[in-house]
Structure 1
Amino acid sequence: MGRMLTTRDVPQRTRKRLAWLDALRGLAALTVVFEHTLEPLLPEAQLPVKAAFDPGWYGVTVFFLVSGYIVPASLERRASLRAFWISRFFRLYPLFGVAAAAMALLTLLGWDDPHIWWKSRLVSLVMGHLTMLQNLLYMPNLLNILWTLSYEMGFYLLLTAMFTLGINRKSVTSALGFTAAALLGAGALPVTLLSAGGSSRMLTVTLAVTTLMTAGLAAAIRGSGAVRQVGAIVIGLTVLTLLAVNQSYPGPWQGLLILATMFAGTVLYRAEQRELSWKQAGWVTLVPLAGIWLTRDDFGTQIATGAAWLTFAAGLALRRQKMPRVLTWLGLVSYSVYLLHPLLLESVEWFWPEPLAVPLNLRMAALACVVALLLGLSALTWRFVEAPAQRLAKRLTSAGARPDRREATNLV
């Protein structure tokens, strides 16, 4: 299976340098898959496992730390918002479209029962998913795991605003600011303040957010001087508003802490690159401590939070060591693994709506088949969807490889 990926698809020097991040992604993907296999295949283990250790929260926390570490570096290395957004678009959307189409097919076949809002609020939900901000617009996710992409997108948008305003290196301040907001807002921030109240209101908010984001990005990328700054401010204020008062899951303070986690990953990158001292970077230990404090009634989540941070710290410490090939390969295809596994599990649930009535040995055999099929499909989607899309992104950005003089000043 690994032989399907060639040196043409992935530059070896880059893969070697980032192998530890791939290994972390691979481990995170496996734990998220494990979390989601419990309900359809091992429901008797779900509550005991999550009470002791929440594998899903562990996995997404590792993913968020990895994104925080590498994504800002990608933007600053290119010094071009245009190149950054072309890269992000072709990294996320092609496979996102494949997964959405597959989910729509399962729905047409009757294997899944979509949320009723897909019939009554179709335009809003389609627009929300196209922006990838659906979770911050109080919308049911087409696939249950898509909620994390809303926070990824929110992070990209905030990075864009900060880069344009020349404050992109304020990573410690950002991490601690979001942590403080999470602590102060826990239990106090309103939920779905903007989008709740009927289909017309949701559509109005969705149209407004889409317009603001489109105009803001256009101004930040193509504008000059004050126009760029206004665009950045519009983007930043819109995202911060959605984060603070318009999310229902996992909750306002949790969403804010997710952003704190990603900015903490950026701080660790800056310390590793000697842009900051490790003493300065040490302030971000307050982020997991805050998370553990805020989930003090949920032991499994506390352990998962601590374990995710320790895992990332171990990966950082071992970054120059050779990583297990199986984990680096899993990291390479981790986005495919992440998006495709719910589709296979939806099929399992359709065949076995009452898993406890099925003998355990058959369920374990089904689990092995699901994992094998998932890895095979992920290899195929990497080769025929993800890798070609990323090569296309490189071709589109190569002509503008030199940073725009206005943007390059933000690297100072």
Structure 2
Amino acid sequence: MQASDVPATVIVDQGNARRAANRYENIDALRGIAALAVVVQHFFGDIIHEATNQQGAAYSVALSSVTYFDAGRFGVVLFFLISGFVVPFSIKGHNPLHRFAISRFFRLFPAMWLALFCLTVASVMHGQWPSLPTFLANMTMVPAAFRQPWMSGAYWTLTIEILFYVLSAGLFALGFLYRPVIIALFAIALVAATAVPILLRYFGISMPVQYLSLHVSFLYLGLLLRMTLVDKLPDALIGSLCVLLVQAVVLFTVGEFSLSRQDGFFLVGTLPILMSYLAALCVFLVSVKTSAPNNPVLSRLGALSYSIYLFHGIAALMVFAIFPLTGTGVDFAIGAGSLFVTLVLSVIVYDYLEKPMINLGYRYIRREDNNESKVSA
């Protein structure tokens, strides 16, 4: 979800600067679309859960939307494909894993910690005090590892990203990260780690079911599609198709299981989730092949996408506390106001925290490189 990954990683064709620049604009624009989709889905969800009038126009639109299409899952899957397409190719240069860890830390954690602080303040204002263990666990982006909940349910994808970074670093260290056959087999194994425990339950064997690995497999699908469409590596196309087939079969089969136990993977029905995955894949493929959209507004939103992701829920808490959702047409104006506040917060956070922290990380890396060069000299 990080716009700043793109300049250093998506340029493959060194002899075609125009093509590289277009792809940069294109990837950022995709991030902008994904961020807006997540905001819209959460807004509709807020209307459904909080509106006082279930006969109003806004409530009807929100209910119809989530019944046929999950815009939030569309945005999340699009983000996953983009991260898989971009992030692994930022592991490069001298001492690449060290550089990768530093750049990821400065890119993600400072803005996240600010969002957690703001969430804490908002919770206190509503009479709720998050516990210190919960806050500290959230700071790691893997609170479940410490048996703590997310302070905001919207942040669950950060755990997926962190897991992807760790796995990719391991694959890189083993020399496997850019080998299509191994990545395809690894992605299929990740899907199986979700599917097998569900399948075994039909034979009376109870095992814990998790969806983390299935989600991570879509980031590696993004990597395989990069190898297929851009790098044109041998076996990448076959690997991509195999992973897609396995993912499709599993998605078709786990829907009823998820709905029966209401675990949140399938929220309303199978149709909106399946449509969202299909739409995200199609939009991603068309965009990569055509270098569209090349829109400066969407590209700017893409640059802000991480801040939008972190702060749109906080903006909604602020706005909806003053203007409660009713389910009527007025909610659309309230939603527009919430989006405006989100964008203002995102611009401030991006310009005065994200970019300075990213640059600080780069300066730290360059300083270490210079120190090592002096020692070796």
Fold match (TM-score > 0.5): yes
| Correspondence list, 1:11-90, <5 A | 16-41=22-47, 42-76=58-92, 80-90=96-106
Supply the AA of the counterpart residue of 1:58.
F
Q: 1:333 aligns with which of 293, 296, 304?
A: 304
Q: 1:72 to 1:375 in 2, by over 3 A?
A: same
What are structure 1's unaligned runs of at least 5 residues? 1-9, 190-243, 246-250, 405-412
Residue deviations 1:149-198 (CA, integer Å, cap 9, x gap): 01111111111222223332331121122123332233658xxxxxxxxx
Supply the AA of the counterpart residue of 1:97.
W
| Correspondence list, 1:265-280, <5 A | 265-271=222-228, 272-277=230-235, 278-280=237-239
Q: 1:162 to 1:138 in 2, by over 3 A?
A: same
SS in 2 for 1:274: coil
State the number of aligned residues.
Answer: 324
Q: 2:336 aligns with which of 365, 368, 375?
A: 368
SS in 2 for 1:35: helix
SS in 2 for 1:142: coil
What are structure 2's unaligned runs of at least 5 residues? 1-6, 12-16, 48-57, 202-206, 257-269, 373-377
Contact 2:116–2:135 under 8 Å retained in 1: no
TM-score (norm 2): 0.78
Paired position in structure 1 for 2:138:
129
Residue deviations 1:286-318 (CA, integer Å, cap 9, x gap): 254135313554111011111111111111112
Residue 362 (structure 1) shift: 2.8
Q: 1:301 aligns with which of 253, 273, 284?
A: 273
Residue 79 (structure 1) shift: 5.5
Residue deviations 1:173-232 (CA, integer Å, cap 9, x gap): 21122123332233658xxxxxxxxxxxxxxxxxxxxxxxxxxxxxxxxxxxxxxxxxxx
Supply the AA of the counterpart residue of 2:114.
V
Q: 1:397 to 1:31 in 2, by over 3 A?
A: same
Identity of aligned residues (%): 26
Per mean C-alpha deviation after superposition, the further-off stretch among 368-377 and 69-78 is: 69-78
Q: 1:187 to 1:54 in 2, by over 3 A?
A: farther
Q: 1:28 to 1:292 in 2, by over 3 A?
A: same
| Correspondence list, 1:93-112, <5 A | 93-110=109-126
The answer to whether the aligner puts 1:395 opposite 2:363 as a matched pair is: yes
Supply the AA of the counterpart residue of 1:294.
T
SS in 1 for 2:91: helix
Q: 1:94 to 1:317 in 2, by over 3 A?
A: same
Mapped partners of 2:80, 2:338: distance in 1:
26
SS in 2 for 1:186: helix
TM-score (norm 1): 0.71
- CA-atom RMSD in angstroms: 2.8
SS in 2 for 1:395: helix
Residue 143 (structure 1) shift: 1.7
